[in-house]
Amino acid sequence: MKIIGITGMSGAGKTTVSEQISKSKNAKQINADKIAKELIKKGSKYYDEIVEEFGKEILQEDYEVNRKKLANIVFTDKDSKEKLDRLTYKHVVPKIKEEVEKNTDCDLIIIDAPLLFESGLNEICDITIGVIAEKKTCIDRIVKRDGINQDLACNRLDSQHNSNFFKMQCDYCVYNQNNSNIQAQISDILEGKNLSNKNVIHVYHEGFEYLQFRKLLEYQDKLKHCYTLKPLDVSNFELERDKVINSYKHVCNFLGLDEKNIYKPIQSHTDIVKIVENQEPGIHKKEFQDVDGLITDKKEKILSLSFADCNCLYFYDPVKNVIGNIHSGWRGTLKEISREAVKILKEKYKTNPHDLICIIAPSIRKCCFEVDENVKNMFYDKFKNNERIDEIIQKSKTVGKYHIDTQMINRVILEEEGLLLENIIESEICTSCHHDKLHSYRYEGETAGRNTSVICLV
């Protein structure tokens, strides 16, 4: 038996998602709202305590609680909401746990609870799924469902967590914008194709898929970012301009950014990091020829690079509010481009390395990055004196071949530059292993497309 906790924004369609999941298995659905509705009836302890707390004014003529009235009170007053939530956890949570106990013969138990985390119910779940949608969509649905006006619906949403909370807290998110694509998203989760992990959330948006890094989502008021998955593809700009521009349009639509502000250099495995200030934005502009890293402290300048296996490093200094986006393939890693980026941050922006966050996005990992003797020797010559050299280079099962850990090398460099261990965060996703979702040069060869990384101060 597996317990799935479903939570999310009001009006995002948790019930739709719960119902779809339950179709695919021998499942029992437990709906926290329904249980609360049952428990609140006249004569229960929950009822008595609610009346004691909120007074007889919330009762209807038949002495039952007027739930609409109660909802209007709690959604416009934080203290009242906290009081009601406390009573709800006290009475509803034990009842849900009782229901779970009664249904242990099911393959799947689905707990549908708006306050899954606050109530602590997430702790009994094997996985948690957050259901999210755009705010406007949620408002429209609440208006239609509960017969209240737009302002009230908006208040209700504002008193709750926004989509970023669920992206940060839940194991997975399902984006339920127009009830489309939900089954595909659920299948991905149940079949292990969804790439979310403790550092990464895999998000679906209007038919496209993105990764976001939970650590960077903590700074939602300061910056926006994502890493694209297939079928988005920014390869071959010179010959397939429309494809690339369209891909960027989708990315910018997802993040709410203006695609006119994209800076996308012509990368060529250098260690050159350029500061973006007041140059003309654009894709593959001459000014950004042979540039493999971008840094800026300017708002609304979208830093973007492309990848098919190479390491992508996002930098963020939350104190000085500076961002960086770095392309560190095996050649760039040998040239230590990540060290170059940190040096610029320290010198130009006075970044204290203890503040600096670095996210290492998906890239080819040691499992799949197998090289010949000559490439191995280049890494050996460069890093032979490092105490982690035995982890950086390992012999392959194939004679004369070696596996190189380029993430480890970047980690070593960043630690040497003073970054704290907890601020170097890896996606732990190998592009070659996950070639169904990510473009991988190693797996697909010359025809491989390109994933893109985007980061922008707002």
Q: Nearer Cβ to Zn ion, position 271 or 405?
A: 405
Enumerate residues 6+ apart whose C-beta is below 8 A from 279: 263, 285, 287, 288
How many Å apart are CA 267 and CA 288, to the nearest integer?
8
User: Which residues in the 46-65 window bind Zn ion by CB under 5 A?
Assistant: none
Strand partners, 151: none
- Does 433 bind Zn ion (CB under 5 A)? Our answer is yes
Q: Nearer Cβ to Zn ion, position 67 or 442?
A: 442
Record the tokens describing residue 277, joined without a space.
């200030």
Choices 109-117, 170-178, 379-387, 422-430; region in contact with Zn ion by CB under 5 A: 422-430
| Shortest-Cβ-distance residue relative to Zn ion | 430
Choices 69-77, 249-257, 306-314, 432-440; region in contact with Zn ion by CB under 5 A: 432-440
CB of 393 to Zn ion, least distance (A): 17
Q: Nearer Cβ to Zn ion, position 127 or 433?
A: 433
CB of 199 to Zn ion, least distance (A): 17
Q: Which of 142, 303, 430, 448 binds Zn ion (CB under 5 A)?
A: 430
Choices 34-42, 169-177, 241-249, 426-434; region in contact with Zn ion by CB under 5 A: 426-434
Half-sphere exposure of 319 (CA within 13 A, CB side): 11
Q: Which amino acid, residue 407? A: Q
CB of 201 to Zn ion, least distance (A): 21
Choices 30-38, 358-366, 375-383, 386-394; region in contact with Zn ion by CB under 5 A: 358-366
Strand partners, 130: 7, 173
CB of 368 to Zn ion, least distance (A): 3
Q: Where are the alpha helices (DSSP H) in 127-240?
A: 135-146, 150-158, 163-169, 182-190, 214-217
Q: Nearer Cβ to Zn ion, position 224 or 365?
A: 365
CB of 338 to Zn ion, least distance (A): 21
Q: Nearer Cβ to Zn ion, position 337 or 429?
A: 429
* Rg of the chain taking only CA atoms, in angstroms: 25
Choices 126-134, 212-220, 280-288, 425-433; region in contact with Zn ion by CB under 5 A: 425-433
Q: Nearer Cβ to Zn ion, position 319 or 367?
A: 367
Ramachandran area for residue 124 (φ above 0: left; ψ -120 to 50: alpha; else beta): alpha
Q: How many residues bind Zn ion (CB under 5 A)?
A: 6
Contact 178, 421 (CB under 8 A): no
3-state helix, strand, coil in the chain (%, to 5): 40, 25, 35
Q: Which of 311, 351, 407, 432 binds Zn ion (CB under 5 A)?
A: 432
Q: Nearer Cβ to Zn ion, position 184 or 367?
A: 367
Q: Nearer Cβ to Zn ion, position 10 or 363?
A: 363
Enumerate residues 6+ apart whose C-beta is below 8 A from 407: 311, 360, 363, 365, 366, 426
How many Å apart are CA 454 and CA 458, to the nearest integer?
13
Task: For the chain, give the number of residues.
Answer: 458
User: Which residues in the 359-398 window bind Zn ion by CB under 5 A?
Assistant: 365, 367-368
User: Nearest 5°: CA angle at 137, between 133 and 138?
Assistant: 70
Q: Nearer Cβ to Zn ion, position 128 or 363?
A: 363
Interaction site with Zn ion (CB under 5 A):
365, 367-368, 430, 432-433
